[in-house]
Amino acid sequence: MTTKTYGIEIETNPDYWDCECDEWYIWSKEVPFCLICGAHQEDQPDSRQDEVEEVLNAKSKLRSRLVAEPQSDLHF
C-alpha cells in the first residue's frame, strides 16, 4: 500500500501502524491500541516501511550487542 504525501509516494507496511507518541510510535498490528497515548489501530495510519525497518534494525542491533558482550568476556 502506498500513501501520497507531498507528491512523493511513501511505501507503508500493512503489518505495522503509527500511534500518536513522539517516539516508539510504531506498533505491530497484533497490538490493538497504544497503552501510552490511547490511539487505536483502526484510527491510525499504517507505518512507513523505512521507519519500520529502522526500528527493526535498532532492535536487532541491540539484541546482537547484548549477545556479543558476554561472549567477548570469554577471550582472555
Catalog residues that contact Zn ion under the rule CB under 5 A: 19, 21, 34, 36-37
| Minimum distance of Zn ion from residue 29's CB (angstroms) | 15
Q: Which is nearer to Zn ion, 8 or 19 (CB)?
A: 19
| Minimum distance of Zn ion from residue 26's CB (angstroms) | 10
- Residue indicated by cell numbers 489501530: 41
Q: Which is nearer to Zn ion, 10 or 39 (CB)?
A: 39
What φ, ψ does residue 16 adopt, rounded to 5°? -135, 155
CA distance 17 to 76: 46
CA distance 75 to 73: 5
| Minimum distance of Zn ion from residue 7's CB (angstroms) | 28
Which set of grid coordinates corresponds to residue 22? 513522539
